[in-house]
Chain A
Amino acid sequence: MLVITATLYLSRLGGMPVERWPEIHLAMLLVYFVLSRWMARGGDEPWVSWVRAGAVIALMFSLYSTLGHAVFVAIPWSGDAALNAIDQWLFGGVPPALRAEAFVTVGRVEFFSFCYGFFIPYLYLSILTGLVGRPDAERQRFVTGFAVLYAISFLGYLFVPARGPIVHNAMEFAAPLAGGTFHGLVVQVIDAAGGPHGAFPSLHVGASAYACLFDLRYNRLRGFTYLPLVVLIAMATVLLRYHYVIDLLAGLLLALMAAVLSHRWMARWEMEKAEAA
């Protein structure tokens, strides 16, 4: 939050037309700071873990939508060209989104749009089952992992602003994607959120992979239930042209990092707490 707010103010000083975005982020930062102080005073009270979880999730969603608008007016460069070049290098000259055009049919676009859209209920259900009805230690691990994942991803959104192949390679595709109801719905939702943005890293892959990894550790059957969907979501992001493959790899790497770090940090924190007690 601090990095984002400072960057937005620096952009204003640099003459970028950032409108009210620095103040909005400063206000969010202050609210979060006050909440942190309040939670610190609460110590080990049961409500603290719930407020912490609520605050992290609320901040995560708020920043996702505010950054979609603020970044492109605050940052004077675009990461699309570099990301596209990496994909070209990885896949022998032709980016995968362009290669995938050969496999595009109305049915496939519709199927993958359904998978892509299913990310939203999957994320909400994962948050619900990650927070409710489980021991507090596991809840804290879940929240910490999500916080790590989103915090690093938002830095990617901020400093590598990109709109994905659907915008960057628009002229290279033979035709725009044609689907049915589900594809229409996905396009409508993305347009409502300010059009394609936040390509690097892919949070569709990062968040779904993190939720799946968490479940594979703590609720194995749920993890195995969603594993095929997580793979399909990753494929959908490329086929529907919203992400470069390097975005997926970065998202997957972040998910793994968040899962490992949250587990280690919380284990250490619990040990210190037990020793202190």
Chain B
Amino acid sequence: MILYRLFRLVFRAAMQVFFSRIELEGIDNVPEAGPVLLVPNHTNALVDGLVVGCCLRRPVVMTAKTTLADNPVLAFMMRAANVVTLQRREDARNDREMAKNEDAFGRLLELLAAGQAVCLFPEGKSHSDPGLRPFRTGAARLAMTFVDGEQADKSLPIVPVGIHYQRKSRFRSRAWIGFGEPLDVRAWRRRNPQGDVRALTARLRERVKALTLSFDQRSRSETLLAAADLLSTGGEAPPELGLRPIPRVAEQLRLVHALQNGRARLMAIEPQSVAVLEQRVVAHRALLRQLAVAPHELFLPMHAGRAAFFVLRELELVLLGLPLALWGLINHLLPALLTGSLARKMTRDEDQFATNVIFVSVFLFPLFYSIQTAVAAQFLSAGWLLLYMISVPYCGAYAVSWFDRVRGAYRRSRTYLLWRSRPDLQRALAREGRDILSEIRRLNDLLEAGHGSAA
């Protein structure tokens, strides 16, 4: 348990550096005690498990494929963190290896009986598909065995979990994790006496799908995400950098879901309007991409006073933060470069990159800290050494946020200058943006009037 907590602390720190923000929703849906089965979607390899484990206060027993234990370091960590390994059919060399799964299932049942939280990925394999993959029946089989078995008096809630990454392999992108309403397996059995493992699996997939973005085509996902981005601007000026309200990933997800539902229903009423609108959204987004302008920057006010205040506020942070950021950079450049390079070499698929960065960094950074401290101890007195040891992680974390802010300020300044030099272009693009918003609202009103609202 101590090792689990230590790992959680270290990985939580690593993830807070990798992701600029991890939004949490529905945490109250996870019971604080007693058996619970968590079933998340699986798009970012080991990071998915880390996100679930680090967001919950109660310990979570993770499951992983047996092949991960081939790596001796991972095998040690998995043993220490009480991870239960499962044999996947495609990895098994013979029936004897598959039979080992029965032992693993038995272990999971024991853990549930002891009131633990177990996390199982029903998709079985991490992927980069635009939609959810078919669910395997393991989670449902485990749940039904639990409620039908010796633990007949105990209930077992299954909590569907949705994990969404804005750009899963991009450093300093944002992530969202949502815990859906628990499904009580015993109650479900009572309501569906004929329901079998497949029916429960289908129900779970439905619940997880409602919490994630799932598209049948990648191109459609891009169109809907572009429309949601535009909708989230509300046709208004962007918020000041670093100040609230920060646009939330949850809001974007809600909008995409609403658009997805609305689109499905509108295709039956006004397919032509939907097709034209989608073309306009795609063309508008392509133009913005070409100009490297974010959708909310379309409505950037061209007010000289506001611009002057922006310059003052950002310059204050750029100049005063520079020494701290540089100190952080100097002390972390080598391990950061090495982490990036090793992670890139180890990555064969997009969904492995974040995992590789996080796992390499939790070894490399402490190693470099130890070496740097040992070297510093040769030259510094105890007081200065203590100051050095405090300053290194502080300035490292500071540098990450500082570079984010400088990037944001640079981007906004560039857009401001672009609009300043080409006001007609801003007017035209903003007008088209507002027209698209009006058309989305018109179609929504149409649904609201006759067929129930979409957004």
Interface residues of A (CB under 8 A from B): 125, 128-129, 132-135, 138, 218-222, 224-226, 228
State whether A225 and B244 are in contact (beta carbons under 8 Å apart), knowing that A132-B309, A133-B313 are contacts in the complex.
no
Q: Taking each of B312, B316, B324, which has the highest tally of chain A beta carbons within 10 Å of its own beta carbon?
A: B316
Taking chain B's interface residues, is the majority helix, strand, or loop, or is none over half, making it mixed? helix
A115→B324 CA distance, assembly (Å): 16
Residue of A whose beta carbon sits closest to that of B316 = A125
Q: Kindly identify which residue among B243, B244, B310, B401 contacts A224, using a CB–CB cutoff of 8 Å.
A: B401
- Judge whether B131 is part of the interface by a CB distance below 8 angstroms: no
Give B63 Cβ to nearest chain A Cβ, in Å.
36
Give B121 Cβ to nearest chain A Cβ, in Å.
33
State whether A220 and B313 are in contact (beta carbons under 8 Å apart), knowing that A133-B306, A225-B320, A225-B324 are contacts in the complex.
no
A135→B244 CA distance, assembly (Å): 8
Q: Taking each of A125, A138, A225, which has the highest tally of chain B beta carbons within 10 Å of its own beta carbon?
A: A225
- Count, A-B residue pairs, CB within 8 A: 43
Are A221 and B242 in contact, with the CB atoms below 8 A? Answer: yes
- Judge whether B398 is part of the interface by a CB distance below 8 angstroms: yes
The 10 closest A-B pairs by CB, nearest first: A225-B321, A221-B401, A219-B242, A221-B405, A133-B240, A225-B320, A224-B398, A221-B242, A133-B309, A134-B243
A220→B401 CA distance, assembly (Å): 9
A219→B317 CA distance, assembly (Å): 11
Are A222 and B317 in contact, with the CB atoms below 8 A? Answer: yes
Residue of A whose beta carbon sits closest to that of B405 = A221
Could you say which residues of chain A place their CB within 8 Å of the CB of B313? Answer: 129, 133
A133→B401 CA distance, assembly (Å): 21
Are A228 and B316 in contact, with the CB atoms below 8 A? Answer: no
Could you say which residues of chain A place their CB within 8 Å of the CB of B310? Answer: 133
A135→B246 CA distance, assembly (Å): 12
Could you say which residues of chain B place their CB within 8 Å of the CB of A138? Answer: 243-244
Q: Kindly identify which residue among B242, B244, B312, B324 contacts A222, using a CB–CB cutoff of 8 Å.
A: B242
Q: Kindly identify which residue among B244, B312, B317 contacts A218, using a CB–CB cutoff of 8 Å.
A: B244
Are B242 and A225 in contact, with the CB atoms below 8 A? Answer: no
Are B243 and A219 in contact, with the CB atoms below 8 A? Answer: yes
Give B240 Cβ to nearest chain A Cβ, in Å.
5
Are B324 and A228 in contact, with the CB atoms below 8 A? Answer: yes
Known contacts A132-B309, A221-B401, A226-B320; 9 additional CB pairs below 8 A are A133-B309, A138-B243, A138-B244, A218-B244, A222-B317, A225-B320, A225-B398, A228-B324, A228-B394
A129→B312 CA distance, assembly (Å): 10
- Judge whether B402 is part of the interface by a CB distance below 8 angstroms: yes
Are A134 and B401 in contact, with the CB atoms below 8 A? Answer: no
Could you say which residues of chain B place their CB within 8 Å of the CB of A226? Answer: 320
Q: Taking each of A128, A220, A224, which has the highest tally of chain B beta carbons within 10 Å of its own beta carbon?
A: A224
A128→B398 CA distance, assembly (Å): 23
Q: Taking each of B310, B317, B401, which has the highest tally of chain A beta carbons within 10 Å of its own beta carbon?
A: B317
Could you say which residues of chain A place their CB within 8 Å of the CB of B243? Answer: 133-135, 138, 218-219
Are A221 and B402 in contact, with the CB atoms below 8 A? Answer: yes
Are A220 and B398 in contact, with the CB atoms below 8 A? Answer: no
Could you say which residues of chain A place their CB within 8 Å of the CB of B398? Answer: 224-225
**A-contacting residues, B394-410, CB 8 Å:** 394, 398, 401-402, 405
A220→B244 CA distance, assembly (Å): 10
Give B182 Cβ to nearest chain A Cβ, in Å.
31
Could you say which residues of chain A place their CB within 8 Å of the CB of B309? Answer: 132-133
